[in-house]
Amino acid sequence: MISQTINNIEIEKYINQIRGDFPILQTQVYGKPLIYFDNGATSQKPIQVIDRITKYYAEENANIHRGVYYLSQLSSDNYEQSRKFITQYLNAKSEKEIIFTRGATEGINLIASSFGKKFLKEGDEVLITYMEHHANIVPWQVVCEQYGAKLKAVPIQKDGTLDLEIFENYITEKTKIVSTVYVSNGIGTINPIKELIDISHKHHIPILVDACQAAPHFKINVQELDCDFLVFSGHKTYAPTGIGILYGKESFLEDLPPYQTGGDMIKFVSIDKTEYNELPHKFEAGTPHISGAIGLAEALKYFDSLNYDLIQMHEHQLNDKLKFELSNIDGLTILGSSLNTIPLSSFAIEGCHPLDIGTMIDFEGVAIRTGNHCTQPLIHALGYQSTCRASLSYYNTLEEIDEFILALKKVIQKLR
């Protein structure tokens, strides 16, 4: 008991120290301290990332890979050093396996388009789940329509989890690729991603992992997972908007045709023929989001510098308290009952429309998400059209949950 008390004091002190790195957390909303519980949509940025982006534009700004002058060389080097760090951070085998994208959405569209062009034909199947974000549904719908393939979705269980046996039964000899989410942005379920990858590989099927909600909470080792492709967005990972990562095994990326064409993805161009550039540049057409890539590396360096054990203990406490407090509100239903989740809860309240709750609780200084969270098939499968969602990060506190619950009860009382 004494040891646990010491741990809690140590965690609280450490989290308060971290909160000092995030200027926006000092903001007041309608005269009340901001309680930011919409981290599933986008995360806040530490001052280290903000300062690094400012430094880039103030001292380093130039286009990359195209100039022999000092600033261009400096900018190019910093851009590629960012790729090098992210390669090491994800434990990829080679820098050729790290593609900078505008975000996870572009990464999934890239693989869907290029993989479809190379491998899909009429009658083939693409396998996803009912847990997917729209960005991991619509690109596959489009490519399946284009090549006459079929999109299949593994159903979820009542508790909001995937059954591994059902998942495997959905794989057939026609399945050409699996694309699935690591952590649900709709209900927070952490999928058994390693098992899903192993099952796919047992049937010699490549798999893409949507790690948007995993990357802000876990350290990811792509070689340990053995996924074929993995995507995540910078803006959910304490980095700028408009930047993301596509990891792909070199053998696959070498084999896939380019997604977009233009400058920098070419080695030689004539009117009659173009020779494409080597990896990773083959998939990075045009001037990239240079400051975004540098900012993303800085954000991941920041996350990598934190005491991961304390962060994990704190997030477990946040998750437990959030679910406990919500479950004790009359008429409130939390979607999904998995015990293995990130600190994120989607909930519905009898007699209260989510939009009304989200609007009114904002005046209490609390930011939550309302709607279907870009997961309509998931929310509908669980019997709802719209919900409220509270999604927390390591810089949130137990005291903020208490304030959130008081505000929520106040809003409910007004609406009923």
**Catalytic residue numbers?**
374
C-alpha distances in angstroms, 109 versus 94, 123, 182? 22, 21, 17
Report the candidate in 392, 290, 281 with the shortest Cα–Cα distance to residue 346: 392
> CA-to-CA distance for 79 and 284, rounded, in angstroms?
13
- Contact at 8 Å (CB) between 117 and 144? no
For 173-223, give the DSSP string: TTEEEEEEESB-TTT-BB--HHHHHHHHHHTT--EEEE-TTTTTTS---HH
Burial of 351 from C-beta contacts in 10 A (0-12 / 13-18 / 19+): exposed
Do residues 242 and 102 make contact, with C-beta atoms less than 8 angstroms apart?
Answer: yes
Q: Are 226 and 383 in contact (CB under 8 A)?
A: no
Distance, in Å, from the CA atom of 282 to the CA atom of 376, rounded to the nearest integer, reads 34
Structure tokens at 268: 């030689």
Residue 274's closest CA among 286, 262, 291, 288?
A: 262
| The token pair that represents 108 in the structure block | 């999934």
User: Do the beta carbons of residue 100 and residue 126 sit within 8 Å?
Assistant: no
Residue 85: partners with Cβ closer than 8 Å, 6 or more residues away? 297, 300, 301
